[in-house]
Structure 1
């Protein structure tokens, strides 16, 4: 079953990370497994120059992290070509290893300081403050954010794991998130080089809509769409195969994958690499393009859509210049409001010195208007005897007469 396949793969991945030789083989072949980019020191230095603090938060231990980071920052220059080489720890304000994410975003662990000479943990719990150039182990997000004096939206967290990095930091701590998706390079490559597949799918979709264009509920015959469906399946298969044997990370036919839906929901930003920041000022406001809802994508703005539905009667009109609701009296004497649209039919008044133009805007009315007066007429013939379960007949009246001496009135219904 799919569940057993998932469990087997999960156990294998956990074993490789915890007990296997993954880290050992990686350290032995750093040039093969770890990609270096000379822009990295410059980007981190510019972020700090803008006034922000930069921290490193990793689940790896210090010895492994030190070897990886030393290799990544192994350049003859520093942040700029004319500057000398700097140790990797000087590019960060805070360094935390053995974070044990996603546990770090919840209860966390004990925060301890690391001896950078031996890699061993110092005895006792570190009570702060966090010093630049020092390395710390474990801790929790609550303690960490108190030390750096930044919470929630003050933090932009960059990670490559949708669950351990992005989802948990967003849901539990409300951090702003940046997801690194290296596969995005291939996704964009297919999007640009295989654009004819997307254009063909749109054309087939239009043809499918044309076959139903002039039909309504009175038609008994069904149009033959078997050829169009076969063509759509064929083009969709070609498009999926263009992404490789595993298909697209974001698309599954014409729908988005579960991973794609999580990216859209929990990642404020995502890109193939965070080095794209080099092309934007740090004051730049990133914003997502407006997305049309399914019902909005079917009607253009210039269309005047006439809705035929019972709920349209519950729309109320609002005037932009004055209140236009009046009261009317019904047969039972109760007052009721007249919608503003009923009294907004006055022509515009034009004078030489001033002009008054009334504009009516119809907005959805999802709730009924709150009554301003009593709208229920109580039954004056109501008798307490009828609601008494112990009263079996009209003749068995054991109640005392009213205090004013009047007889109690009884009615039968």
Structure 2
């Protein structure tokens, strides 16, 4: 976005050549690709991981509970071995008991997985055989191994489990969650850290939302009354005697005057509602509001994707510590617009 501003201001250096928006998009994309693929970005992160990583001390312990309960744990990452080892040591080792290392947690580690292709295609499999990352070709993965490449089908065959016997945990709705669900029918868990800030913002905005909903409900009542009078006037213009309940015993002048008064009431309610709707969600993001909502009641596109592809979602893996590793999660009851319940005393 800053480069777009610089382009608009004519501040792009001449040695980059004449650029339009399409050319700028390609130039920025190429620069990011080179920084990522050639390792510049990851080298900087590895040199000072404490600047870029916020460790969660409870994450390794949550995984340890799962492992000790008999679950098989796998780490599948697109990163190369050097980066993975460095970041996992920084994030895991100091929080594990009895001199355990991060490798001790996982029954299998796969680096350079090339997701989302990992879920759809079969790439050559290599075993990482030295601490320097040297590899040799292999044709089958085994428990305890460290591998590069391969495929999800290979994982299933190696472990002897398939489909919904696997829970895949990832933080990207497309690369991780939707692809493993669509192509393999794996169970899926989405990690979305922003939910913590959104949840706090929703709690802080309860009073604001309650007042807003009350005003909208008031407008709905007034609007319904206005529409009944409008219908009654329409019927009279067409010489139909049928009346609405709200317009009984009113002549045309009374109907018109009442409608005008109701319009004024609705306009005054709108004057209160509009700025409150505009401000809804500002506690989370002052430009586009809540992550999970579109408007006051509707779900955002992201939230609908999460509901479609993720069997469960949470803000961080360590939240599983609030449950035992033997917990069976069931979906909440799904209500429909025509659902209604009556209870007898």
TM range (shorter): 0.7 to 0.9
Give the distance between the partners of 1:100 and 1:21, measured in 2 at CA.
Answer: 19
Higher relative contact order (CA 8 A, sep 6+): 2
TM-score (norm 2): 0.77
The correspondence of residues 180-195 of structure 1 with structure 2, limited to 5 A, is 180-195=191-206
Give the distance between the partners of 1:267 and 1:135, measured in 2 at CA.
Answer: 28
The correspondence of residues 66-105 of structure 1 with structure 2, limited to 5 A, is 66-75=85-94, 78-79=96-97, 84-105=98-119
Q: Where does residue 307 of structure 2 map in the other structure?
A: 264
Cα pair 2:141 2:147 within 8 Å, conserved? no
The correspondence of residues 303-322 of structure 1 with structure 2, limited to 5 A, is none
The partner residue of 2:232 within 218, 224, 247 is 218
Q: Where does residue 45 of structure 2 map in the other structure?
A: 26
The partner residue of 1:167 within 163, 173, 178 is 178
Q: Where does residue 64 of structure 1 map in the other structure?
A: 83
Give the distance between the partners of 2:154 and 2:67, measured in 1 at CA.
Answer: 22
Pick closer, same or farther for the CA change 1:117–1:227 going to 2, 3 Å: same
Give the distance between the partners of 1:11 and 1:199, measured in 2 at CA.
Answer: 48
CA deviations 1:12-50 (Å, max 9, x no partner) are 654543246321221122112112233233222211111
Indicate the structure with greater helix content.
Answer: 2
Query: Whose radius of gyration is greater, 1 or 2?
Result: 1
Q: Where does residue 248 of structure 1 map in the other structure?
A: 290
Listed as ranges, the gaps of 5+ residues in structure 2 are 1-20, 235-255
Cα pair 1:240 1:252 within 8 Å, conserved? no
Give the distance between the partners of 1:4 and 1:301, measured in 2 at CA.
Answer: 56
Deviation at 1:111, TM superposition (A): 1.0
Say if 2:123 is the partner of 1:119: no
The partner residue of 2:208 within 191, 197, 221 is 197
**Number of aligned residue pairs:** 291
Q: Where does residue 275 of structure 2 map in the other structure?
A: 234
CA deviations 1:304-326 (Å, max 9, x no partner) are xxxxxxxxxxxxxxxxxxxxxxx
Deviation at 1:108, TM superposition (A): 3.0
Pick closer, same or farther for the CA change 1:16–1:252 going to 2, 3 Å: farther
Q: Where does residue 243 of structure 2 map in the other structure?
A: none
The partner residue of 1:36 within 48, 55, 63 is 55
Deviation at 1:226, TM superposition (A): 3.0
Pick closer, same or farther for the CA change 1:282–1:100 going to 2, 3 Å: same
Deviation at 1:6, TM superposition (A): 11
Cα pair 1:177 1:268 within 8 Å, conserved? yes
- Worse-superposed segment, 235-244 or 16-25: 16-25
Listed as ranges, the gaps of 5+ residues in structure 1 are 304-413
Give the distance between the partners of 1:236 and 1:143, measured in 2 at CA.
Answer: 51
Q: The residue matched to 1:178 in structure 2 has which SS?
A: strand
